[in-house]
A = this chain, B = another copy of it.
Amino acid sequence: MADAEPGWELYRSFLGVLKEGSLSGAARALGLTQPTVGRHVEALEQALGLSLFTRSQLGLAPTEAALALAPYAETLAATAAALLRVAESQGDGVRGTVRITASEVIGVEVLPPILAALREQHPALKIELGLTNRVEDLLKREADIAVRMVRPSQDVLWARRVGAVELGLHAREDYLARHGTPRSFGELLNGHAIIGFDRETAFLRGARKALGPLRRDAFSLRADSDLAQLAAIRAGYGIGVCQVGLARRDARLVRVLPKAFSLPLETWVTMHMDLRDNPRCRVAFEAVAEGLQGYIEGEAR
């Protein structure tokens, strides 16, 4: 009933409970104590005139209202974090923290040397890597720079195309020596150990026609982690899809059916317009864009 605007602190505790699922967990994550977080949630419920959680001994379950408010609380947290990054980068020169988001494979296999060189050049620069296939939202400031496989359509975003990463079927040569090299999709599907995804993602639904006969039930090893798939290919488990440029680095890996299966992924490096004049972001953007371009051109050699 009392609708005095709730303190912004309460939102932080609210988000913590939402993410951790319990007062105790949120308290640990936030560096507070369980009674304090409980009081915060209670105060927020009071101020909003809403019930946010259904209490129980094994945690708090969010109500529908709490779920409706969740995205806003997340935006608050992301914005506060972005503010801190900007604050940290104040002062002369390239300094502070830049947060980069990319897919797991790019982040693990491609970015490290690029970032290492970047750091050599700018020792005061700190880097945060968010590796997820979910596209973190640059508009929500969840990251400063994103490596994406889709062309960004937001005009407040600044993007540079760095080329197309090619995906292809690969296997280790000793696997092929044991089981033969398939010369057609028919041979591939007949008796070969195929490595593929488990659950369908939005990306996969979009690429379904490009995948051809590579459907879920044809897979001998199913993993949602692209890294796990790559590791399985490298371990000689069987035949799977990975970036051509990565396979080239491992002399034991051989490409299979290169003409029948090739999936080029347009790749973009993206940044919020507002950060264009921020030294740390500009420098990191250039480094990542040029590094990826080098990787892709090397891949295509």
Binds B, one of A66-74, A177-185, A202-210: A66-74
The digit string for A68-109, where 1 denotes a CB below 8 A from any CB of B, is: 110111011001101110111010000000000000000000
A80 engages B11 (CB within 8 Å): yes
> Within the complex, which residue of B73, B87, B154 is in contact with A48, where a contact is CB–CB below 8 Å?
B87
Decide if the interface of chain A is mainly helix, strand, loop or mixed: helix
Tell me if A139 is interfacial: C-beta within 8 Å of chain B.
Answer: yes
A11-B83 contact given A155-B154, A156-B154, A274-B71, CB 8 Å threshold: yes
Closest to A31 in B: B4
> Within the complex, which residue of B5, B69, B86, B141 is in contact with A86, where a contact is CB–CB below 8 Å?
B69
A11 CA to B84 CA in the complex, in Å?
11
A85 to chain B, nearest CB (A): 9
A50 engages B90 (CB within 8 Å): yes
A12 CA to B68 CA in the complex, in Å?
23
- How many residues of chain A have a CB within 8 Å of chain B? 34
Tell me if A54 is interfacial: C-beta within 8 Å of chain B.
Answer: no
Residues of B within 8 A of A48 (CB): 84, 87-88
B69 engages A73 (CB within 8 Å): no
Residues of B within 8 A of A141 (CB): 72, 75
Residues of B within 8 A of A75 (CB): 75, 79, 141
Residues of B within 8 A of A156 (CB): 139, 154
Tell me if A120 is interfacial: C-beta within 8 Å of chain B.
Answer: no
Residues A253-301 near B (CB distance < 8 A): 274
A87-B71 contact given A11-B8, A12-B8, A76-B76, CB 8 Å threshold: no
A5 to chain B, nearest CB (A): 7
Closest to A8 in B: B8
B7 engages A9 (CB within 8 Å): yes
B9 engages A8 (CB within 8 Å): yes
* New A-B pairs, 20, CB < 8 Å, besides A8-B8, A154-B156: A5-B84, A7-B8, A8-B12, A8-B80, A11-B83, A48-B88, A49-B87, A50-B87, A64-B90, A65-B90, A68-B87, A69-B86, A69-B87, A72-B80, A72-B86, A72-B141, A75-B75, A75-B79, A76-B76, A153-B154
